[in-house]
């Protein structure tokens, strides 16, 4: 078994080091180890598994959610969210800094993408909050942390990929994400309140009268949230009303996003071309990763790798909570060098049997995986969310890492809390969907 592990490691990182794409690297690694250690005809295995995974009905939702996000990126949804949320956020300690968290939470309920959430919300709030005189540290840190909610609050592209690879219900994963998503958003808001209580100079004096805004003005501002609420009803409402599957809900979301973009005058032939190209590029990349991960997972199963790993952990007598700590630290390190989809694809075939053997539920572990992928979005040098913010603000990466660190620490503590109290994740899907 040692020879198998060494061969897999050398082959995978050899392909990656040569600049080969992650999906092709995963499939090629599987073919190498199968050719070396078995007599299985690899060409037939690759063809069979490629067809099986790409014809999976649940996977159809993925390109549809990506297409919806591409349309929303080109609308004025960020401005309407800011205008609708600002009068209400002004009532809280921390004032308009909470708009970052609230807007990201709402947009996450539509887009399914962390990067899209960060970019759409950030292009409005960063400039507006800076103009009003809020401290850059907490503005940027709260946006970087809250932008990751795009993966945790359903619908989520990461959950779809995990559900397909782990053979778990996507709808159950979506349902399990609601409570942790809103609790994490609440933790971020609590962090903002604490930081601004410790450093009141982060809130400009001119903003302290927002609490005195008439209630009628706050109610009037709610009409600005109508486009976002319409899209949430299209996607989330249709699923839980029982009239649409996740795939059908994604299709309704695309129609709704197109309607919002059309009403805001954002639909042109140039927009449609850009949306189409962006969707095809993203789907092609994710499709290759999913196929490669499936082939590698089958290869490791044939070679007995999951059983060997499980036996190793059993032999060292590592308690379940210790296993979760070890995995979280492993993923934090991996997240410094790999983006989230690649992390899931490369590790799930080996780690999932280990997790189930330790007694963890696959739905719970799906939420855990989403959280560690979120951490990867804000851990350099890859750090997609920080790269997006750097592109908007021009600040150096070192500064962005420093101001984001408290929110990363909050996410790590929150993940450990879910490990101690897994019922936080599991009770809602059991309530809504049954066991």
pLDDT of residue 333: 80
Q: Is the pLDDT of residue 186 over 90?
A: yes
| The total number of structural domains that make up the chain | 1
pLDDT of residue 386: 84
- CA 375-377-378 angle, 5° bins: 75
Q: What is the mean pLDDT of the chain?
A: 82
Q: Which residue has the higher pLDDT, 319 or 182?
A: 182
SS3 label, residue 56 = coil
pLDDT of residue 187: 93
Tokens of 88: 């209400």
pLDDT of residue 184: 94
- Spatial distance between the Cα atoms of 30 and 344, rounded to a whole number of angstroms: 16
pLDDT of residue 382: 65
Q: Which residue has the higher pLDDT, 429 or 21?
A: 429
Q: Is the pLDDT of residue 161 over 80?
A: yes
Ranked by mean pLDDT, the top range of 21-30, 64-73, 116-125, 146-155 is 146-155
- Spatial distance between the Cα atoms of 188 and 95, rounded to a whole number of angstroms: 14
pLDDT of residue 384: 76
Q: In the chain, what percentage of residues exceed pLDDT 90? A: 10
pLDDT of residue 367: 93
Q: Is the pLDDT of residue 61 over 80?
A: no
pLDDT of residue 296: 77
Ranked by mean pLDDT, the top range of 50-64, 175-189, 340-354 is 175-189
pLDDT of residue 272: 86
Q: Is the pLDDT of residue 315 over 80?
A: no
Q: Which residue has the higher pLDDT, 8 or 363?
A: 363
From the list 105, 239, 230, the residue with the least C-alpha distance to 170 is 239
pLDDT of residue 307: 67
Q: Which residue has the higher pLDDT, 320 or 159?
A: 159
List the helix and strand counts (H, then E) for the chain: 23, 0
From the list 324, 402, 376, the residue with the least C-alpha distance to 148 is 376
Q: Hey, CA dihedral for 200, 206, 209, 210, is it positive or negative?
A: negative
pLDDT of residue 188: 93
* Beta-carbon-side half-sphere exposure of residue 347 (alpha carbons within 13 Å): 23
Overall average pLDDT of the 287-299 stretch:
77
| Omega of the bond leading into 387 within 30 degrees of 0 (cis) | no
- What are the CA-CA distances from residue 112 to residues 66, 105, 171, 369 (Å)? 8, 11, 14, 15
Backbone conformation region of residue 217, classed left if phi is above 0, alpha if psi is from -120 to 50, else beta: alpha
CB atoms within 10 A of CB 342: 25
Q: Is the pLDDT of residue 337 over 70?
A: no
DSSP 8-state symbol, 243: S
Cα 193–chain centre separation: 25
> pLDDT tens digit string along 100-156?
899 889 888 887 778 778 888 887 788 888 888 888 888 898 888 898 888 888 888
- Spatial distance between the Cα atoms of 327 and 374, rounded to a whole number of angstroms: 14
Overall average pLDDT of the 253-260 stretch:
88
pLDDT of residue 344: 81
- Spatial distance between the Cα atoms of 388 and 404, rounded to a whole number of angstroms: 13
pLDDT of residue 319: 81
pLDDT of residue 410: 92
Q: Is the pLDDT of residue 227 over 90?
A: no
Q: Is the pLDDT of residue 87 over 70?
A: yes
- Spatial distance between the Cα atoms of 357 and 351, rounded to a whole number of angstroms: 10
User: What is the residue range of 201's domain?
Assistant: 2-433
């Amino acid at each position: 078994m040692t020879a198998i592990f060494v061969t897999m490691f050398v082959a995978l990182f050899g392909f990656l080091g040569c600049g080969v794409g992650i999906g092709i690297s995963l499939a090629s690694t599987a073919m190498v180890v199968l050719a070396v250690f078995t007599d299985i005809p690899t060409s037939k295995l690759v063809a069979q598994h490629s067809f099986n995974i790409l014809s999976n009905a649940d996977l159809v939702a993925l390109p549809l959610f990506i297409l919806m996000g591409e349309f929303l990126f080109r609308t004025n949804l960020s401005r309407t969210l800011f205008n609708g949320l600002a009068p209400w956020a002004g009532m809280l300690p921390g004032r308009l800094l909470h708009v970052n968290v609230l807007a990201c939470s709402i947009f996450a309920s539509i887009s399914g993408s962390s990067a899209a959430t960060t970019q759409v919300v950030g292009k409005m709030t960063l400039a507006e909050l800076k103009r009003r005189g809020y401290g850059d540290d907490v503005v940027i840190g709260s946006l970087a942390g809250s932008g990751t909610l795009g993966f945790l609050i359903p619908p989520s592209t990461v959950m779809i990929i995990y559900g397909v690879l782990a053979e778990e219900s996507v709808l159950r994963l979506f349902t399990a994400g609601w409570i942790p998503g809103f609790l994490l958003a609440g933790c971020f808001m609590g962090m903002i309140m604490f930081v601004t209580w410790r450093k009141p100079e982060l809130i400009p004096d001119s903003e302290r009268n927002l609490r005195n805004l008439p209630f009628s003005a706050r109610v009037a501002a709610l009409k600005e949230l109508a486009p976002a609420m319409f899209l949430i009803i299209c996607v989330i409402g249709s699923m839980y009303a029982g009239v649409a599957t996740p795939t059908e809900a994604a299709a309704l979301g695309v129609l709704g996003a197109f309607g919002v973009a059309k009403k805001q005058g954002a639909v042109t032939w140039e927009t449609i071309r850009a949306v189409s190209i962006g969707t095809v590029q993203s789907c092609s990349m994710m499709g290759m990763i999913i196929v490669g991960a499936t082939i590698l997972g089958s290869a490791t199963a044939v070679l007995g790798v999951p059983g060997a790993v499980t036996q190793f952990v059993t032999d060292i007598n590592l308690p379940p909570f210790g296993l979760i700590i070890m995995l979280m630290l492993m993923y934090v390190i991996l997240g410094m060098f790999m983006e989230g989809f690649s992390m899931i694809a490369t590790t799930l075939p080996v780690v999932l049997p280990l997790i189930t053997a330790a007694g963890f539920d696959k739905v719970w572990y799906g939420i855990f995986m989403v959280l560690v992928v979120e951490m990867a979005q804000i851990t350099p040098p890859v750090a997609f969310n920080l790269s997006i913010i750097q592109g908007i603000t021009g600040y150096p990466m070192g500064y962005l890492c420093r101001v984001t660190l408290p929110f990363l620490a909050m996410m790590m503590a929150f993940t450990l809390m879910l490990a101690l109290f897994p019922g936080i994740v599991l009770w809602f899907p059991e309530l809504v969907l049954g066991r």
